[in-house]
Amino acid sequence: MAAKKAPSRAKATDKDVRTLEKIEKLAQSALRTVEKKENPALSIRMRALSNVSFNEKKRIIELGGKTQSREFFNTAMARKFMQTFLVARGCKTLIDEGKTVSIRQMFYMTKHTLQGTSENTFEDQSESDPIIEDLEVTIDALREELHLFANKRGLVVGALTVNDAGDEIDLTRMGRGGWGIPSICEDDQLKFVRNKAEFILCVEKQAVWHRLNEDRFWEKHKCILMTTEGQAARGSRRLLQRMASELKLPIYVLVDNDPWGLYIYSVLKQGSINLAYESMRMAVPGVRFLGMSSFDYKKFTLPKAVEIKLSKEDIARAEQMKAYPWFKDKKWQLEIQELLKNGFKMEVDALLTKSISFITEEYIPKKLRDKDYLQ
């Protein structure tokens, strides 16, 4: 019987080679320390508010240089030390074999019971996900470079053709479902082939996106229509950043009129505290806040039925956001103050109280015509 042919492996890229070198360097450093009979330790940059600052010139959140030591001979740190190397070994295996897995699958790849004990290396994915981020920061390699991805989230339709890993896709021919945004949107995987759009409209909610898509808003206004389906995943943020920088398209964002909607917008604009080390490739400082604005209630004579009373948590969050350096501009202070003055919040879906297609035919077109947005 003929021997089975070994499965072919994708050719290692220069990026793969560099990432492997970083992982091996990390392991070799720990090994040398052990051979000297000393305490091996990892130096990890702190991903906390105390180590984050807002770069006024670049208008993005940046991670500082403060580090914390993760030592093996320390009962409070030994578990995370071991977990970091387990994940690093798992990523090395993926790169060696030319394969990718989800961050959920990496949890299972690295989970096992320690021999002679009843203790598991990981109990839950909430343990492994932060370790992956620690590894990214420690060896300065992105999750995508470690051959890891998250479940995709977000949809796109509109006047753009892309090449996704060799397949050319016309985003004007996506029907009602749209094109699902991949977790990995780097230029070696995703390329822009043809663009006929004049701007990008990014909406928070999938239901709002469906209304706009069914009304073919993107066709009438020559745009790209995207939904992040809530807080934007890394793939969506990276795609927006690339479209803004490579296609030179303005981006308008439509979110609910509440502190959480403002936060979704702010993460797209200047990044997040937790992923401050990725702001340079994800943040879009020029992104424009189209709405919903706290002033829209009167501008569009919305009915009282759209009002949702602000909770104590909403009020506290709004006050907190007023103190953020990226919201210190007078126009943003007025926007947040109006929200608090109103005493209520509004969902984008509430525009349906005017008419089913009010958002498509009147609300957004008027906002764009009047240049009624914030930056």
Q: Which residues are annotated as catalytic?
A: 108
Q: Cβ of 44: how many Cβ atoms within 10 Å?
A: 17
Backbone angles phi, psi at 22, to 5 degrees: -65, -45
Using an 8 Å Cβ cutoff, are 332 and 373 in contact?
Answer: no
The answer to whether 204 is annotated as binding is: yes
For 373, list phi and psi in degrees, rounded to 5. Answer: -145, 165
Please give the angle made by the CA atoms of 358, 361 and 362, to the nearest 5 degrees: 70
Specify the pairing of strand 251-254 against strand 288-291. parallel
According to DSSP, the β-strands at 223-227 and 199-203 are parallel
DSSP state of 3: P
DSSP string covering 318-363:
HHHHHTSGGG-SHHHHHHHHHHHHHTEEB-GGGGGGT-TTHIIIII
Query: What's the angle, vertex CA 251, arms to CA 180 and CA 273, rounded to 5?
Result: 80
* Structural contact between residues 209 and 118, judged by C-beta atoms closer than 8 angstroms: no
What is the spatial distance between Cα 94 and Cα 89, in angstroms, rounded to a whole number? 9
Q: What tokens does 224 get?
A: 């790209």
Cβ distance 179 to 152 under 8 Å?
Answer: no
3-state helix, strand, coil in the chain (%, to 5): 45, 20, 35
User: Is 188 a known ligand-binding residue?
Assistant: no
Q: How far is CA 15 from CA 20, 95, 120, 134, in A?
A: 9, 10, 33, 19
Helices 125-139 and 103-110: angle between axes, nearest 10 degrees? 100
Length of the chain: 375
Binding-site positions for Mg(2+)? 204, 256
Residue ranges for the binding site? 204, 256
